[in-house]
Amino acid sequence: MSTEDEVNPYELLELTLEATEGDIKSAYRKRSLKVHPDRNPNNPDAARKFHELNQAYELLLDPLRRLAWDAKLRLKEARKQRYAHYDNKRKNMVDELETREREFKKSRLDKQKAEAAERSENDRIKEEGRKLRERRAEELEQREIEQRRKAKAEAPLDDADDPPALDPLDTTVKLRYKIATHPNLTTPDALSILLSPFGPTDTSSIVLSMKPPKKDPTKPAKFATALVPFKQIGDAFGAVGASGQAGRGLDGVEIGWARGQEPPILDWLRKMGKLGSPPKEQSKTPPEVPPSTQSSASSFPTTAPSLPNIQVAGMDYESLTLLRLRQAERERLEQEILAQEAAE
């Protein structure tokens, strides 16, 4: 801002360039009493005038700022004196140059304001476009989700209901029985022989626990708990269905799934209409069925679509990986069994 456009602090305080610091303070006190907003409650410009007075007072009390301002005033005065000695022709030239300079400054400021306004408008348009694209993308995604949901609901059962994956523990059953009732079931081999009518088991992976009572560890164990892995899930299904059947030599032997619930693949087979009603697990007094009418897998289908059997002999890489996973899970369950027996 030029000196012509700025407020002259000397004029506000009614002082000259030769005023001392005491003159400045005295003039400020007099002027502040006149323009203070509290003394001029009805004057809307009182606050502005009082602010300008304070700015002028601070400027004149700052030696460096006052020195710079005095230099401006002297330069302005020197220009006026030179201008006064110009002839009319030269005065017209000076006036024309100053007018052009002011117009140039004004046009430059107007151009800067227009560019700033244009940038602001462009940013606003870009932001609105971005929000519009996001809304359209969300709407498109929502329509796709609705279409997929509708297509899934209308799809045939064979296409919409794929079989679940077979977990390594889906072929493992859990046995619990009194040792006094079955004193011969104290080894993995004996358990394997007991369950052999249902199908082959992985004898080397059977986990057997016979822990004495916690209250008196010197007494023999009353109950035995075992995890027995079958090589095929159909055989495990048949063993769970025969839980507690005296005709199978399982009187007092509770057989259930290792996880406490049957594998999801069995529920899928029921939906497909390839499996009968679920076997009654942990039944202590089931009706006896003559051996001639029993099958090793109850109502389990002879051919289950896409149902893999976990074999031990002739293992490939995938089978070996499944076996290792099953062994790790079986060790975890063994620890849970031991902890449960300790709590009992």
Q: Mark whether 237 and 331 lie in a shared domain.
A: yes
Query: What percent of the chain is predicted at pLDDT more than 90?
Result: 34
Residues in the chain: 344
pLDDT digits (tens, 9 = 90+) for 155-187: 655 544 667 777 778 889 999 999 888 989 889
Supply the range of the domain harboring residue 291.
Answer: 168-343
Neighbours of 304 (CB within 10 A): 20
Boundary of a domain, candidates 64, 85, 106: 85
CATH number, domain containing residue 81: 1.10.287.110
Cα–Cα distance for residue pair 56/32, rounded to 1 Å: 12
State the pLDDT at residue 168: 72
State the pLDDT at residue 98: 82
Domain contains 119: no
pTM for the complete prediction? 0.41
Q: Mark whether 184 and 294 lie in a shared domain.
A: yes
For residue 286, pLDDT beyond 50: no
Q: Mark whether 68 and 201 lie in a shared domain.
A: no
Cα–Cα distance for residue pair 302/23, rounded to 1 Å: 116
Q: Mark whether 190 and 339 lie in a shared domain.
A: yes
Q: Are strands 172-178 and 207-209 parallel, antiparallel or unpaired?
A: unpaired
* Residues 6+ positions from 189 with CB-CB distance below 8 Å: 203
State the pLDDT at residue 5: 57
Q: Once rounded to an integer, what is the mean pLDDT over residues 64-82?
A: 90
Boundary of a domain, candidates 51, 85, 119: 85
Q: Mark whether 80 and 172 lie in a shared domain.
A: no
Q: Mark whether 185 and 332 lie in a shared domain.
A: yes
For residue 38, pLDDT beyond 50: yes
Domain contains 120: no
Question: What confidence category does residue 300 fall into, taking pLDDT thresholds of 50, 70 and 90?
Answer: low
Amino acid at 204: S
> Which one is predicted more confidently, 1 or 182?
182
State the pLDDT at residue 165: 75
Contact between 198 and 238 (Cβ < 8 Å): yes
Q: Mark whether 194 and 307 lie in a shared domain.
A: yes
Cα–Cα distance for residue pair 46/49, rounded to 1 Å: 5
What CA–CA distances, in Å, run from 45 to 28, 29, 135, 149, 203?
18, 19, 50, 69, 102
Domain count, the chain: 2
Domain contains 163: no
Sign of CA dihedral 190, 196, 197, 198: positive
Domain contains 297: yes
State the pLDDT at residue 129: 92
* Residues 6+ positions from 201 with CB-CB distance below 8 Å: 191, 192, 195, 228, 229, 230, 231, 235
Q: Which of 21-35, 149-163, 232-246 has the lowest mean pLDDT?
A: 149-163
Q: Which of 42-56, 188-202, 206-220, 249-263 has the lowest mean pLDDT?
A: 206-220
Domain contains 62: yes
Domain contains 124: no
Domain contains 131: no
State the pLDDT at residue 294: 43
Chain position carrying tokens 């109850």: 298
Q: Mark whether 70 and 174 lie in a shared domain.
A: no
- For residue 308, give both structure tokens: 């893999």
Chain position carrying tokens 């009187």: 251
Q: Mark whether 72 and 191 lie in a shared domain.
A: no
Q: Mark whether 180 and 276 lie in a shared domain.
A: yes
Q: Which of 150-154, 195-199, 284-288 has the lowest mean pLDDT?
A: 284-288
Residue 225 host element (H or E): strand 223-229
Boundary of a domain, candidates 85, 107, 124: 85
pLDDT digits (tens, 9 = 90+) for 115-166: 999 999 999 999 999 999 999 999 999 999 988 888 877 765 554 466 777 7
Domain contains 255: yes
